[in-house]
Homo-oligomer: A and B are copies of this chain.
Amino acid sequence: MKAATAIGIGAGVFALLFASMMEGTQPMAFFNISALIIVLGGTASATLSSVGMDTMKRIPALYKLAFGPPELDLRGRVDLIVSLAEQARREGLLALDAQLSEIDDDFTRKGLQLVVDGTDPELVREILEAEIDGMTTRHAAGATAFEKAGGFAPTMGIIGTVMGLVHVLQNLSSPSSLGPAISTAFIATLLGVGAANVIFLPVGARLRALSSAEAELRILTLEGILAVQAGDNPRVVGDKLRSFVAPAERETEDSPTDGGRAASPAADALAAEAA
Contact = CB atoms under 8 A, between A and B. Distances in A.
Interface of A: 1, 4-5, 7-9, 11-12, 15-16, 18-20, 22-25, 29-30, 33-35, 37-38, 41-42, 44-53, 56, 58, 61-62, 64-65, 70, 100-101, 104-106, 109-110, 113-114, 117, 119, 123, 126-128, 130-131, 134-135, 137-138, 141-142, 148, 152, 154-156, 158-160, 162-172, 178-180, 182-183, 186-187, 189-190, 193-194, 196-198, 201-203, 205-206, 209, 212, 216, 236, 239-240, 243-247, 256-258, 260-261, 263-264, 266-267, 269-275
B198 A45 contact: yes
A19 B38 contact: yes
Contacts of A152: 197, 201
A16 to B, nearest CB: 6
A105 to B, nearest CB: 7
A166 B187 CA distance: 7
- Where chain A touches its partner, the secondary structure class is helix
A163 B179 contact: no
A266 B72 CA distance: 11
B183 A170 contact: yes
Nearest to A267: B106
Given A25-B163, A34-B19, A52-B4, A61 B190 contact: no
Contact of A50 (B44, B167, B202): B202
Contacts of A48: 4-5, 7-8, 11
A8 B46 contact: yes
B65 A41 contact: no
A139 B170 CA distance: 44
B46 A197 contact: yes
A240 B270 CA distance: 27
21 contacts: A4-B52, A5-B52, A9-B49, A16-B38, A19-B38, A19-B160, A20-B34, A20-B163, A24-B167, A30-B166, A42-B198, A50-B206, A51-B206, A52-B206, A62-B273, A104-B266, A106-B264, A127-B239, A137-B212, A137-B216, A170-B180
A53 B1 CA distance: 6
Contacts of A168: 179, 183
A135 B41 CA distance: 35
A244 B126 CA distance: 11
